Structure 1
Amino acid sequence: MKLILTHEVTGLGAPGDIVEVKGGYGRNFLLPRNYAILWSKGAEKQVESIKKAREARAIHDLDEAKAAKQKLESNTVKVPVRAGSEGRLFGAITVSDVANALKGAGSSVDKRRIEIGNPIKALGTYAVQVRVHPEVTAKVTINVVAA
């Protein structure tokens, strides 16, 4: 199945890329979540507009990406959440929670670039990865505290 990606998908590609995937993955995951559109000659004309929008948001220079990485890694970000008496959370920390905390700390990061390894369900300090550039990944330290 041939698709055009509209969002970044880890391990598959970036917006505007034309990819070939298995039918079930495309029909059951990528298309319902609007991560991709079906490829056609008419839709291929949209690729240019998708790539222009991606270029406007992207960090172009590797040195600029390394500077952004240092800025992200330099400080610990606090994420206030509701927690029980034993330190267990009511739910889990999501990438949206981390993105909002980073925005509050002065670093605007797209939530699709944040990767949380294991679900965070307790108070404490955790490391989260942020893909700043295709070649640069920052490890951000977040401190989950009771609100």
Structure 2
Amino acid sequence: MKVILKETIDTLGIAGTECKVAEGYGRNYLLPQGKAVLATPANRKVMEQARAKLELQIAKEKKIAEEMAAKVKEVAITIKAKVREEVHLYGSVTSHDIKEALDAQNVDVERRSILLAEPIKETGEYKVPIRLYKDVEPEITVTVAAEDKQEK
């Protein structure tokens, strides 16, 4: 099924582009949510007329993302965790833990935009990319430290 995106979707493309999606995904999610329209000749014509407006919106979104990236690059968070053998964590640090630490510093990002390949299982310093927009991925510094024995 071919659809024209009405808004930017990370996995598909930017607003105004035509893409091919699975029938169920298009029919059950994209169309009812208003995120896309069927790629008919009439809809293509409407999108061509709205393209200038969309390009302005895309430029605005990218500028906002770049400003946010400058702010996010400066962020360094420390997460305390229980450890064994002074290096290995009892559990792991996940994107959920990173999101909570970012929220504590008033940095608002979506959890799914934190690109943590696999959970962190050892203490140390890690660079974790955050996807704010299609080509805007600043890295934050995440330090995982041993929790003091007295903290409980």
- Structure 2 match to 1:110: 110
- Structure 2 match to 1:71: 71
Where do 5+ consecutive residues of structure 1 fail to align?
3-7, 27-36, 52-57
Aligned 1:27-38 pairs, distance under 5 A: 38=25
Deviation per residue, 1:79-102 (Å, 9 max, x gap): 122212422101221110111111
**Inter-partner Cα distance in structure 2 for 1:44 and 1:74:** 36
**Inter-partner Cα distance in structure 1 for 2:112 and 2:104:** 17
- Displacement, 1:9? 8.3
- Displacement, 1:18? 6.8
Deviation per residue, 1:61-118 (Å, 9 max, x gap): 3222112111111131111222124221012211101111111111011110011134
Secondary structure of 1:13 counterpart? coil
TM-score after normalising by structure 1: 0.64
**Inter-partner Cα distance in structure 2 for 1:140 and 1:44:** 32
Q: Contact 1:59 / 1:65 at 8 angstroms: preserved in 2?
A: no
Where do 5+ consecutive residues of structure 2 fail to align?
3-7, 37-57, 148-152
TM-score after normalising by structure 2: 0.62
- Displacement, 1:144? 0.7
- Displacement, 1:136? 0.6
One-letter amino acid matched to 2:32: Q
Secondary structure of 2:130 counterpart? strand
**Inter-partner Cα distance in structure 2 for 1:19 and 1:99:** 32
Aligned 1:46-85 pairs, distance under 5 A: 46-48=32-34, 50=35, 60-85=60-85
- Displacement, 1:134? 1.1
Q: Percent identity?
A: 21
Secondary structure of 1:78 counterpart? strand
Secondary structure of 1:125 counterpart? strand
**Inter-partner Cα distance in structure 1 for 2:59 and 2:90:** 36
Count of residues paired in the alignment: 120
- Displacement, 1:128? 0.4
One-letter amino acid matched to 1:83: V
**Inter-partner Cα distance in structure 2 for 1:59 and 1:109:** 20
**Inter-partner Cα distance in structure 2 for 1:69 and 1:44:** 28
Distance 1:19 1:79, change over 3 A: farther
One-letter amino acid matched to 1:46: P
Distance 1:20 1:63, change over 3 A: closer
